[in-house]
Chain A
Amino acid sequence: MRKVLEHYARKEPLQWRKVTVLPASAMVHFTHRPHTRVGVACPVCHGEVAAMGVARRAVALDMAFCVACHEREGASVDCLTCHH
């Protein structure tokens, strides 16, 4: 929090660092909207961020993980849903 306040005092935007990253080479297009709309809880992919001292990647975001959930929830498993 001190860091946040320091940034504010310097009138500089925070430099966020992304920890939940899909590599460009995966050619996957993920958007939050359809997932939040159907009520997928944040920790499913992000882990319990609230309980983390330092944020880190909690789930291996590989295709097996995505497809398993899509199949379980009856979401589309057409390749183009994510790969285009």
Chain B
Amino acid sequence: MTRWAMAIDLDRCTGCEACVVACHAENNIRLVGPEEAARGRAIHWLRIERYYEGEYPDVRVRFVPVLCQHCGAAPCEPVCPVYATYHTDEGLNAMVYNRCVGTRYCANNCPYSVRFFNWHAAPWPDPLQRQLNPDVAARPAGVMEKCTFCVQRIQRARQQAADEGRELRDGEVQPACAESCPTRAIVFGDLDDPDSRVARLSRSGRARRLLEELGTHPAVFYLARGARESSGEP
């Protein structure tokens, strides 16, 4: 069985936000203008959180890229009255736009604040629509959306492998954020394959999970800054 997971190495991340734009480009995330953005309606499936420690002149900053954690025990799932969000067999926290009726309970119950509501349908002034990714649905007004771990890329890679009559290889599926990352800080793969890079990184002494203490069992591992372990880390 496959269990999709991600590892993000905070010692490599420089907070450049290439991943944020890559996510928009891949996933047809709608354009939210300045007025809507000022009302808190901007949509970024992936964001870089910034934490200051200390005051001038002794300040340190930490960056944490935050996206849907595809929790094994996701708080968003049981509160959906119409089963629009559920867990797949492969560990993805799925979001089915067709079912969603926009109660927004899921966003309310997500401790990571990674779910977004479409207050309006997306405007794509001509010819901007020519860039849209045909593999990703354009969401209508009134539904929730969030990171899918680029499920369309998972499917594309799987079809490719099936056409060639073989299994998926480790590293073959790359979500848009991972592929764009200048420092290769994001690693994606199958946690159930003990030899995959993501599985090995998840066992590193530097690995942590976000708000793990809430019992959400996130599928995203963060590798703390600092020297890496001599053994075990790929």
Is A–B contact present in the complex under a CB 8 A cutoff? yes
Measured CB to CB, the residues of A under 8 A from B are 24-27, 29, 31, 33-34, 37, 78-81, 83-84
Given the interface contacts A26-B98, A78-B89, does A34 sit within 8 Å of B162 by beta carbon? yes
Residue contact B151 to A80, C-beta cutoff 8 Å: yes
Alpha-carbon separation in the docked complex, A22 to B92 (Å): 25
Main secondary structure of the interface of B (DSSP, over half): loop
Residues of B within 8 A of A (CB): 86, 88-89, 92, 94, 96-99, 135-140, 148, 151-152, 155, 159, 162-163
Report the separation of the CA atoms of residues A31 and B99 in the bound assembly, to the nearest whole angstrom.
22
A31 cross-chain contacts in B, Cβ below 8 A: 159
The CA-CA distance from A79 to B98 in the complex, in Å, is 10
Instruction: State A29–B154 Cα separation when bound (angstroms).
Output: 13
Contact between chains at A33 and B137 (CB < 8 Å): no
CB pair B152 A84 closer than 8 Å: yes
For A80, what are the chain B residues with a Cβ–Cβ distance below 8 Å? Answer: 88, 92, 94, 96, 148, 151
Instruction: Kindly provide the distance from the CB of A33 to the nearest chain B CB, expressed in whole angstroms.
Output: 5
> How many whole Å from A79's CB to the nearest CB in chain B?
5
CA distance A26 to B99 in the complex (A): 11
A24 contacts across to B, CB distance below 8 A? 137-138
Asked if A84 and B163 sit within 8 Å, CB to CB, the answer is no
